[in-house]
């Protein structure tokens, strides 16, 4: 009778992994993850959690506009954080706005990651003129600020499609704008990893076996580059959310009838000095906390994947 040991399942390997061990030891990471999970869950189930639907015109009464939070004088118990200039419940618009901002952030990062991985793999694997050409394009784009590139691309799309069409497809447009503006971050990170990986024996063995370049790049090299990609993705989600908020604040993002965190801050900014500070302050606090916890999680992941500096 032979004694054979069953291979551990993925769940068992995850329970015994270093990343889960370090996560349990780091209280800041645990708190940040709990806060982010709370935001993500409430945003996902906003239609069921929110007191009202800010998109439903039948549930909005203009007579309820600019009501202060419920604990203040003249506040209404039906509107915990008050209402905006259109009579929409601030808490409801924040929940729906967080969902929209997270959706744009995640989709924009998915586009950035796709473009950056393909370009970075191609540049790092082939090298030579291909590498020089692709990296010079990335360098030129990186020489401009992300916001400047986003504003330029937004202006091009608005001119080409028209203001009405742009507003109709504003979410898709913002995903494309932010994705195009940020792909060089991924491309340079992936290229650096590929340059280190392609010299290793498993890549040479794959070449000897006659595998084609796309298979070697995507099935052999890419899995070994996932750690830096995961780290940069968390940071880029926060950057994408901030980019959407900035574009919406400048009037280049989502229209007024689609409340994201950025558009809510923009709407309330002109009322802040007239006393209706809650229209801007509460969405602003939510945006700051959301971006902060994502950035802290990104910093923690970066340290975990770099054992030389991680202390646990």
DSSP assignment of 257-295: TS--HHHHHHHHHTTGGGT-THHHHHHHHHHHHHHHHHH
Across the range 53-59, mean pLDDT stands at 77
Enumerate residues 6+ apart whose C-beta is below 8 A from 257.
Answer: 55
Is position 274 within any domain?
yes
Rounded CA gap, 10 and 20, in Å?
A: 13
Mean pLDDT for 197-203 is: 85
In a domain, 200, yes or no: yes
32, 293 Cβ separation under 8 angstroms: yes
**Residue bearing tokens 């790092």:** 124
The pLDDT of residue 25 is above 60: yes
Is residue 13 assigned to a domain?
Answer: no
* Mean pLDDT, rounded, for 46-70: 80
* Residue 90 CA neighbour count, 13 Å, CB half: 30
Contacts of 235 (CB under 8 A, 6+ apart): 294, 295, 298
For 225, other C-beta atoms within 10 Å of its C-beta total: 22
pLDDT of 234 strictly over 70: yes
Q: Are 29 and 67 in contact (CB under 8 A)?
A: no
Q: What is the mean pLDDT of residues 122-150?
A: 86
Whether 61 is in a domain gets the answer: no
pLDDT band per the 50, 70, 90 thresholds, residue 1? very low
Above 50 in pLDDT, residue 271? yes
Asked whether the predicted pLDDT for residue 103 surpasses 70, the reply is yes
Please tell me the chain's helix, strand, coil percentages from 3-state DSSP, rounded to the nearest 5: 75, 0, 25
Residue 297 has pLDDT above 90, yes or no: no
Q: Which long-range contacts does 20-29 make (Cβ < 8 Å, 24+ apart)?
A: 22/304, 22/310, 22/312, 23/304, 25/312, 26/300, 26/312, 28/296, 28/300, 29/296, 29/297, 29/300
Binning pLDDT at 50, 70 and 90, where does residue 44 land? confident
Is 52 a member of any domain?
no
Give the mean pLDDT of 185-199.
Answer: 89
pTM of the full predicted structure? 0.83
pLDDT of residue 22: 74
Domain span at 215: 26-39+67-304
For 301, the token pair is: 């992941």
- Domain contains 186: yes
Q: Output the CA angle 44-47-49, nearest 5 degrees.
A: 85
Q: Which of 22, 81, 43 has the alpha carbon at shortest distance from 312? A: 22
Mean pLDDT on 74-100: 84
Q: Is residue 134 part of a domain?
A: yes
Rounded Cα distance between 23 and 289, Å, is 20
Number of structural domains the chain divides into: 1
Residue 60 lies in a domain: no
Q: For residue 253, give the CATH number of its domain.
A: 1.10.3720.10
Alpha carbons 283 and 277: distance in angstroms, whole number = 11
Q: Which of helix, strand or coil describes residue 256?
A: coil
DSSP state, residue 89:
B
**Contacts of residue 39, Cβ cutoff 8 Å, sequence gap at least 6:** 98, 102, 286, 289, 290, 293
């Amino acid at each position: 009778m032979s004694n054979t040991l069953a291979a551990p399942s993925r769940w068992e390997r995850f329970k015994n992994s270093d990343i889960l061990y370090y996560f349990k030891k780091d209280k800041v990471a645990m708190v940040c993850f709990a806060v982010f999970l709370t935001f993500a869950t409430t945003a996902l189930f906003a239609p069921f959690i929110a007191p009202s639907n800010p998109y439903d015109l039948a549930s909005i009464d203009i007579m309820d506009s600019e009501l202060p939070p419920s604990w203040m004088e003249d506040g209404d118990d039906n509107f915990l954080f008050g209402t905006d200039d259109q009579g929409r419940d601030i808490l409801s618009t924040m929940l729906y706005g967080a969902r929209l901002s997270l959706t744009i952030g995640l989709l924009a990062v998915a586009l950035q990651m796709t473009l950056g991985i393909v370009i970075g793999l191609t540049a790092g694997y082939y090298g030579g003129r291909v590498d020089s050409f692709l990296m010079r394009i990335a360098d030129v784009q990186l020489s401009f600020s992300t916001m400047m590139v986003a504003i330029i691309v937004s202006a091009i799309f608005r001119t080409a499609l028209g203001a009405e069409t742009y507003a109709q497809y504003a979410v898709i447009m913002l995903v494309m704008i932010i994705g195009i503006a940020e792909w060089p971050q991924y491309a340079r990170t992936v290229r650096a990893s590929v340059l280190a990986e392609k010299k290793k024996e498993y890549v040479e063995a794959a070449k000897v076996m006659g595998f084609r370049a796309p298979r070697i790049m995507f099935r052999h090299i890419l899995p070994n580059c996932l750690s830096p990609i995961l780290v940069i993705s968390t940071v880029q989600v926060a950057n994408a959310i901030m980019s959407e908020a900035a574009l919406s604040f400048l009037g280049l993002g989502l229209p007024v009838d689609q409340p994201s965190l950025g558009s809510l801050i923009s709407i309330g900014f002109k009322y802040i000095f007239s006393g209706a500070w809650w229209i801007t302050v509460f969405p602003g606090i939510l945006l700051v906390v959301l971006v902060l916890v994502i950035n802290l999680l990104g910093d923690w992941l970066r340290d975990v994947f770099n054992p030389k500096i991680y202390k646990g």
